[in-house]
Amino acid sequence: MNALTGEALDRAREEAQAAFRALKRRRTALDADSIDLILGQARSHYAWTDRPVPRETLERIYELMAAGPTSMNSCPARIVFVTSPEGKARLARALKAKNVDKMKAAPVTAIIAHDVEFWRELPFLFPHEDRRPHFEGKPEHAETTAFRNGTLQGAYFMIAARALGLDVGAMSGFSNEIVDAEFFAGTTVKSNFLCNLGYADETALFHKLPRFSFDQVCSFA
């Protein structure tokens, strides 16, 4: 992809600004129920119905996740959707025993990962300026950037899934080393966390746990 220049760049910027203004005119904020669906009253789930999740829905979740902001549009997240019995068996090798049944019961378990060499794709993702020298030969900086922005994308992923009517249950309690050896051997991709995905069995829910108040954790400078 070549960077836009001149009149083409001006036209693209004008179109983007007009589209954003039109959206804000149509809807300035989400309604209360929509906010509750994605965050306010959303819950982490550990029990699931057997209702399948279509591929088309997973593709839409990805599209929404990919629209979220990342540094330099780096988009380092990589996802493996584990759906088959064979894939679940491979993933189970990495999990602590108490998490195996939770994972196997979910229609989909997403491995949320990131590519530590994401910067090689920056000419496509950030075409108007070559930012590769910021990362080339600097593996610690590249890995920190990949982890930070990949984690952001993982959060966008969960919110997108909830917005589309699915339930999620993020999960640690596994060996990243085993997951990486099993699913990403020979690549520059590293796992971050797991996210079970599907339609929850709400009868397994408990009461919502406490959260800190604004004044306990927020300050001004």
CATH number of the domain encompassing residue 198:
3.40.109.10
Assess if residue 151 is contained within a domain: yes
Assess if residue 56 is contained within a domain: yes
What mean pLDDT is reported for the chain? 96
Render pLDDT for 14-23 as a digit per residue (tens, 0 to 9). 999 999 999 9
Percent over 70 (pLDDT), the chain:
100
Domain that holds residue 95: 44-202
Assess if residue 35 is contained within a domain: no
Render pLDDT for 119-134 as a digit per residue (tens, 0 to 9). 999 999 999 899 999 9
Assess if residue 20 is contained within a domain: no
Counted residue by residue, the chain has a size of 221
Assess if residue 34 is contained within a domain: no
Tell whether the model's pLDDT for residue 58 goes beyond 90. yes
- Tell me what the mean pLDDT of segment 97-103 comes to: 96
Tell me the whole-structure pTM to 2 decimals: 0.95
Name the nearest CA neighbour of 87 among 190, 194, 199.
194
Tell whether the model's pLDDT for residue 204 goes beyond 90. yes
Tell whether the model's pLDDT for residue 189 goes beyond 70. yes
Tell whether the model's pLDDT for residue 180 goes beyond 90. yes
Write down the pLDDT at residue 3: 87
Render pLDDT for 155-177 as a digit per residue (tens, 0 to 9). 999 999 999 999 999 999 999 99
Tell whether the model's pLDDT for residue 140 goes beyond 80. yes
Go through 59-72 and write b for each residue having 16 or more CB atoms within 10 A of its CB, e for each that does not: eebbebbeebebeb
| pLDDT confidence band for 25 (50 / 70 / 90) | very high
Write down the pLDDT at residue 72: 97
33: tokens are 């129920």
Residue 154 contacts residue 70 (beta carbons within 8 Å): no
Name the nearest CA neighbour of 82 among 152, 187, 171.
171
Assess if residue 174 is contained within a domain: yes
Assess if residue 7 is contained within a domain: no
- Tell me what the mean pLDDT of segment 86-115 comes to: 97
| pLDDT confidence band for 82 (50 / 70 / 90) | very high
87: tokens are 């894939």
Write down the pLDDT at residue 101: 95
Assess if residue 117 is contained within a domain: yes
Write down the pLDDT at residue 1: 63
Name the nearest CA neighbour of 83 among 56, 111, 113, 47.
111
Instruction: Quote the number of domains for the chain.
Output: 1
- Tell me what the mean pLDDT of segment 96-113 comes to: 97
